Amino acid sequence: MTNELLLKPGDYEADHVKHSVGGMGGHLFRRAVHLAMAVLPWIYYWHGDYIAEIFRVTPPQFASAVVIIIITAEVVRLKLGLTIVGQREYEAHQFSALAWGAIGVGLTLLIAPEAGLKGAAFGVPLIWSLTFVDPLMGELRRADAAPRTVATAGVVACALIWIGCGFWLGTPFWLALMMAPVTVAAEWPRLRWIDDNGMMMLVPLTLLLLLHPWIG
């Protein structure tokens, strides 16, 4: 069972450029899309009411609809065996990192408890930990950085995001001590069917939901 869930060492390569549709250009496009996802919580928490009103729905309904559309499009893509610029070759046969990231972001916006400024105290650091820390760790691996260096950089960057959100949004500072290492640990396993984009969102989100009753 473990062998079915985990990728073998030979199945995973830190330098994804050679396996990306479009080569280096596709890889850079993928990174740009990843970073651009950082604006999604700003759109949702600060402008969600206005955007949802245009479509005559609530912000959660709008977020839900977008996730459903992305999942549907992903299923169609897999049925056709297509890959687009920036995707990797193996994603022709499984849910892409973009789809997993979209699902994770959508679920975070839908069910993360609302607190602090604009209700964004938890949603923003959860999503930014994916959009900024995952590319950082990926590029460090591509540069052949030691695993300890990659993990340390990821934990520090993630902690800084949570601490920064503490000053900006009112996020409890102590959460940085727990969420940073958990987020990095969730990214580490190379699972066959679940991309690390999904793990970096769903595992910390689950932990937050378990901790929330204890957060004053």
pLDDT of residue 2: 47
| 184-206 per-position pLDDT tens digit | 999 988 787 788 899 999 999 99
- Least Cα distance to 42 among 130, 100, 123, 116 occurs for 123
Asked whether the predicted pLDDT for residue 1 surpasses 50, the reply is: no
* Residue 90 pLDDT grade (very low, low, confident, very high; cuts 50, 70, 90): confident
Average pLDDT (104-113) is 96
Structure token digits, residue 30: 């993928």
Give dist(CA 188, CA 194) in Å, integer.
Answer: 12
* Residue 10 pLDDT grade (very low, low, confident, very high; cuts 50, 70, 90): very low
Q: Where are the domains of the chain?
A: 10-214
Asked whether the predicted pLDDT for residue 5 surpasses 70, the reply is: no
Give dist(CA 98, CA 87) in Å, integer.
Answer: 8
3-state helix, strand, coil in the chain (%, to 5): 75, 0, 25
pLDDT of residue 13: 54
